[in-house]
């Protein structure tokens, strides 16, 4: 399926430390779950081993919320968590 990004999602990427490639991998290979407002969530952990917000973390979790459209996903927002 084709993946498109809402302007809100693109703004959140750099703000939250995620990349379009990570979002794409999360949708294609990550855990899928039902989300509010008839949306679909996707979650995937990535090795990070770097510093975010002044602290070092081993793992970055990318969580994507998207709406399914005809033959595509529209990414609405992206959330990251660092562990």
Going residue by residue through the chain, which has 83 residues, state the pLDDT in tens, using 9 for 90 and above. 899 999 999 999 999 999 999 999 999 999 999 999 999 999 999 999 999 999 999 999 999 999 999 999 999 999 999 99
pTM flag (> 0.85): yes
pLDDT recorded at residue 1: 83
Which residue range forms the structural domain that includes residue 69? Answer: 2-82
Secondary structure E strands in the chain: 2-5, 31-35, 39-52, 55-69, 72-82
C-alpha to C-alpha distance for 77 and 47, rounded to whole angstroms: 21
pLDDT recorded at residue 50: 97
pLDDT recorded at residue 49: 97
Provide the domain count of the chain. Answer: 1
């Amino acid at each position: 399926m084709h993946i498109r990004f809402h302007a809100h999602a693109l703004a959140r990427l750099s703000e939250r430390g995620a990349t379009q490639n990570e979002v794409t991998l999360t949708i294609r290979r990550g855990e899928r779950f039902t989300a509010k407002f008839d949306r679909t969530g996707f979650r995937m952990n990535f090795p990070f081993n770097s510093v975010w917000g002044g602290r070092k973390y081993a793992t970055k979790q990318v969580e994507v919320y998207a709406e399914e459209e005809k033959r595509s996903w529209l990414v609405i927002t992206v959330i990251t968590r660092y562990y």
